[in-house]
Amino acid sequence: MLIGIPIAIGGIAWAYSILISDRANDTYDKEDPYNKLFRNLKLLEDNEWVKYLGTDQKKAYDLMKFEIAESVSVLEFIKVIDIIAEKMDCLVIDKENNKTNYLSIYYEGEIMYFRKAHKEIEHAPFTVLRPPTNDHILLGFNFDYAPVWLDLSKEPNWLLGGVVRCGKSTLTHGTLINILANEQGYLFMCDRKHSEFGYYRGKKGVVEFGRTKEECEKVITAFKEFAEKRMKVIEEENVRNYLAYNSRHPEKPMKRFFLIIDEINDIALENIKKDEAIGYYKILISLASKLGYIGGSIYIGCQRPSATVIRGDLKCNFVCIGMRTINEGNSKIILDEVGLESLPIYQARGRFDLRMNDILAYHLTDQQLEAEIAKLPNNEKVQDK
């Protein structure tokens, strides 16, 4: 209800303030438990309010909705999310004082959402899915059990960070298998952890594979030479990018090509001297900024993120996706905000497609992993411009 009719500019401001105040009186219930909670946490000023609109119950979560006053800052709620989660029985603390937070807070317009994930989520079984386009790679699924795709034509490089046994390898395996099964491109693979990524050696589409320092340097060099060859062909064809080249040559289109680095730490330590990037780390920085128009991508895995390992001049050209981290500092390095330190295992969070996205890893046991990789055909010589 609007009280008074403004007759001048000053009157407009006066009437608007009365409108907001009157709206608050209509909306704000002093006995509402959520208003009480948020006021006790000093998240609401005297003239601010929230209105609980109800909860939608989903298979994997409950979604609480709140209408909020225009002046309410949702970012302030996010800063104390662990405290709110504890009050709402969404925070689990184990014997070693490790926290797991099942609450997410976000907003759209004047609606603030609390998503309370179930503590036991049924992870979708892995299956190979056909991508919307050849530029889309499968990352995982979301809380509504829909696949999450990353469009490499818009954001070609991605980084995945998280502690040991957070589900990082499971998430990455799903992506790699889907790329190879759909023959989306060529893989140049560096496996410095000497992990189960060795399963991919000799598979069709995996053109280079290395584990030792020397082998991985050869892999990065081969990737760089492949990229430079692409650049030259596109320049000679006088086209804008590889997609334009493919339109001109549909009989033999260029495939995407990927540099997969499972553990950047060793490469960083070997190629950063006195805070200066040198050698192969410097090559990665240079390539990451140029790959988009030639159909190239770099994936980097990191289990010990630090400002030295994930430098700003590298990170600025990557979609950064985080799984559980050891502390708030590592969360900030990956996502520029806290929250990953209490993320449940097998869950990830990343900012791409102009928003923050939640990603869950598909259910993929060791036996299923071996079976899925066994289905992939063996290698053949790559002939591509």
Specify the pLDDT at position 276. 86
Report whether pLDDT(103) > 90: yes
Q: What is the pLDDT of residues 66-94, one digit of tens each?
A: 999 989 999 999 989 999 999 999 999 98
Instruction: Inform me whether the pLDDT recorded for 368 exceeds 90.
Output: yes
Number of Cβ within a 10 Å radius of residue 269:
12
249 found inside a domain: yes
The pTM of the full predicted model, rounded to 2 decimals, is 0.86
Q: 3-state class of 243 per DSSP?
A: helix
pLDDT above 90 for 21: no
Both 57 and 190 in one domain: the answer is no
Q: Residue 31: pLDDT above 80? A: no
Name the CA radius of gyration of the chain, rounded: 25
In a domain, 19, yes or no: no
More confident residue, 187 or 98: 187
- Residue 315 maps to a domain: yes
What are the C-alpha distances in Å from 158 to residues 18, 102, 139, 149, 285? Answer: 49, 25, 10, 12, 13
Average pLDDT rounded to a whole number, residues 112-132: 94
Q: Look at residue 158 and tell me whether its pLDDT is greater than 50.
A: yes
78 domain-assigned: yes
Rounded CA separation 142/121 (Å):
11
Q: Could you tell me if 252 and 157 lie in one domain? A: yes
Domain final residue, candidates 90, 117, 144: 117
Does one domain contain both 106 and 151? no
Looking at the fold, whether 152 and 197 belong to one and the same domain comes out as yes
pLDDT tens across 300-330, in order? 999 888 888 999 999 999 999 999 999 999 9
- Spatial distance between the Cα atoms of 230 and 226, rounded to a whole number of angstroms: 6
3 — pLDDT class (breaks 50, 70, 90): very low
What's the start-to-end Cα distance of the chain, in Å? 68
Residue 26's pLDDT band (cuts 50, 70, 90): low
DSSP 292: G
Provide the pLDDT for residue 30.
Answer: 64
Of residues 8 and 44, more confidently modeled:
44
Q: What is the CATH number of the domain that holds 87?
A: 3.30.980
Query: Residue 102: is its pLDDT beyond 90?
Result: yes
Confidence of residue 110 (pLDDT cuts 50, 70, 90): confident
Residues 202 and 292 grouped into a single domain:
yes
- Report pLDDT for 29: 66
- Please check whether residues 284 and 178 belong to one and the same domain: yes
Judged against a pLDDT cut of 60, whether residue 1 lies above it is answered with: no
Among 311, 310, 342, 307, smallest CA distance to 326 is for: 342
Pair (333, 209) in one structural domain: yes
Q: Is residue 152 part of a domain?
A: yes
Among 8-22, 57-71, 358-372, the range scoring the smallest mean pLDDT is: 8-22
Structural domain includes residue 17:
no
Identify which of 211, 171, 176 has the alpha carbon closest to the alpha carbon of residue 190: 211
User: Which of the listed residues 58, 85, 117 is the one where a domain comes to its end?
Assistant: 117
Query: Same domain for 144 and 97?
Result: no
Q: Are residues 317 and 256 in the same domain?
A: yes
Do 92 and 144 lie in a common domain? no
Residue 384 in domain: no
What is the band of 54 on the pLDDT scale with cuts at 50, 70, 90? very high
- Which of 85, 117, 149 is the endpoint of a domain? 117
287 closest CA partner among 299, 275, 269? 299
Total number of domains constituting the chain: 2
- Helix boundaries (H) for the chain: 9-27, 33-40, 74-79, 81-87, 168-181, 213-237, 242-248, 265-271, 279-288, 312-315, 328-335, 366-375
Check the CA dihedral 78-79-84-85 and report its sign. positive
254 lies in the same domain as 345:
yes
CATH of the domain at 252: 3.40.50.300
- The per-residue pLDDT for 196 is 78
Judge contact between 137 and 149, C-beta under 8 A: yes
What is the pLDDT averaged over residues 368-377? Answer: 94
Task: Say how far residue 233 (Cα) sits from the centre of its chain.
Answer: 32
**Average pLDDT for the chain:** 89
Tell me, yes or no, whether 8 lies in a domain: no
Domain that holds residue 110: 31-117
Residues 165 and 110 in one domain: no
pLDDT in tens, 189-241: 999 888 878 999 999 999 999 999 999 999 999 999 999 999 999 999 999 99
